[in-house]
């Protein structure tokens, strides 16, 4: 009896173990951003996505585990020849991801190796279309062309290339020395141009300063002449006004009898003074036609003075 019980217990335990193993084989938990390829009897059956999935135990099995994340693969350094026959050593980094796990599994044996090799061949092809100087200047354009060319060929593999970055472009040492000499000459040329531009600007500034100084001096002289002319004009006007007022006063006084006598006295005095001046300047004395003319002038002047003195106030 005990033997039978032990046998039944062993059978139950074996059945329980088989059930557990069967359930475990039929339940699959796929991680996030991964895809499992399921084959049944060696043939593709389905693709399991992230989460809980069920398969037929002992019939279905996981043939491939594909990551759907973006992957970065280092492209080894390789030699390439430019359009102007310069040998370069170029390496880069390739960024891609799997879009179709089925194609990545059955479309190519090793999609990482295939994409890497395609990147190398495409890079050599694109570099052969450019001259050496353009490889440094148009690096972004070169990267974009390489990505476009790889995507055209890798579409059947279920892989999408996101970007390609060239890390280093190393020309031969002789070319490096020539490029360094060229850069040095270019820097010296630019320095000379900047120096000449500075001297030119300095000369322009000096000329502009001298021009402005001359203009300011001319403006000052012009202003001075204008002010001087205005002053002289005002002085002449003032003198003319004074003379006009004097003539007006003289005219008003000359209209009277006393004024006429004063005018006659002034004329006589001036005549005598003029004759005295002539006598001082010349040894020749001019006498009037009438010998009594001088005496008559003196007599007239004396009479006028006496009349003015005797005139009551």
Do 247 and 260 belong to one domain? no
Do 35 and 46 belong to one domain? yes
| Residue 254 Cα to chain centre, angstroms | 88
CA dihedral 56, 58, 60, 63 (to 10 degrees): 150
Do 193 and 248 belong to one domain? yes
Do 162 and 222 belong to one domain? no
Whether 111 is in a domain gets the answer yes
Residue 95 has pLDDT above 90, yes or no: yes
SS3 content of the chain, % helix, strand, coil (to 5): 65, 20, 15
Do 103 and 166 belong to one domain? yes
Which among 67, 98, 115 is the end of a domain?
67
Provide the 10 A C-beta neighbour count for residue 204: 10
Whether 183 is in a domain gets the answer no
Q: Mean pLDDT across the chain, nearest whole number?
A: 78
What's the CA gap between 92 and 106, in Å, rounded? 27
Do 83 and 156 belong to one domain? yes
Whether 40 is in a domain gets the answer yes
Provide the 10 A C-beta neighbour count for residue 106: 15
What's the CA gap between 313 and 310, in Å, rounded? 9
What's the CA gap between 236 and 229, in Å, rounded? 10
Whether 164 is in a domain gets the answer yes
Do 88 and 163 belong to one domain? yes
Do 250 and 268 belong to one domain? no
Boundaries of domain holding 85: 71-171
Do 161 and 94 belong to one domain? yes
Decide: 115 and 161 in contact? Cβ < 8 Å. yes
Do 124 and 165 belong to one domain? yes
Whether 176 is in a domain gets the answer no
Each residue's pLDDT tens digit, 209-257: 888 888 888 888 888 888 888 888 888 888 778 877 776 776 666 667 6
Instruction: Give the count of domains, the chain.
Output: 4
Do 51 and 121 belong to one domain? no
Do 110 and 161 belong to one domain? yes
Please name which of 181, 82, 187 lies closest in space to residue 138, comparing C-alpha atoms: 82
Residue 261 has pLDDT above 90, yes or no: no
Each residue's pLDDT tens digit, 110-163: 889 999 998 888 888 888 888 887 887 778 888 888 898 888 888 889 999 999
What's the CA gap between 200 and 267, in Å, rounded? 77
CATH of the domain at 105: 3.30.479.30
């Amino acid at each position: 009896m005990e033997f039978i019980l032990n046998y039944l217990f062993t059978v139950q335990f074996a059945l329980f173990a088989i059930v557990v193993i069967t359930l475990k084989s039929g339940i699959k938990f796929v991680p996030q951003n991964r895809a499992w390829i399921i084959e049944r009897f060696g043939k593709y059956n389905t693709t399991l996505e992230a989460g809980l999935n069920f398969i037929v135990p002992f019939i279905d099995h996981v043939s491939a585990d594909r990551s759907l994340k973006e992957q970065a693969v280092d492209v080894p350094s390789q030699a390439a020849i430019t359009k102007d026959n310069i040998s370069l050593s170029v390496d880069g980094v390739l960024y891609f991801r799997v879009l179709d796990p089925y194609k990545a599994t059955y479309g190519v044996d090793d999609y990482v190796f295939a994409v890497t090799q395609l990147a190398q061949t495409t890079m050599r092809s694109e570099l052969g279309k450019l001259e050496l100087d353009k490889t440094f200047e148009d690096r972004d354009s070169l990267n974009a062309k390489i990505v476009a060319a790889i995507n055209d060929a890798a579409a059947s593999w279920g892989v999408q290339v996101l970007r390609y970055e060239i890390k280093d472009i190393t020309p031969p040492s002789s070319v490096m020395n020539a490029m360094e000499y060229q850069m040095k000459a270019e820097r010296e040329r630019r320095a000379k141009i900047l120096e000449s531009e500075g001297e030119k600007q300095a000369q322009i500034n000096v000329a502009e300063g001298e021009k402005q100084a001359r203009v300011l001096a001319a403006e000052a002289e012009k202003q001075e002449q204008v002010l001087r002319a205005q002053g002289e004009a005002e002085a002449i006007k003032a003198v003319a006004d004074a003379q006009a007022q004097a003539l007006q006063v003289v005219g008003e006084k000359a209209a009277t009898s006393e004024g006429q006598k004063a005018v006659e006295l002034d004329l006589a005095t001036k005549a005598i003074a003029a004759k005295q001046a002539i006598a001082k300047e010349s040894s020749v004395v001019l006498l009037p036609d009438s010998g009594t003319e001088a005496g008559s002038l003196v007599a007239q002047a004396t009479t006028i003075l006496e009349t003015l003195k005797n005139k009551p106030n």
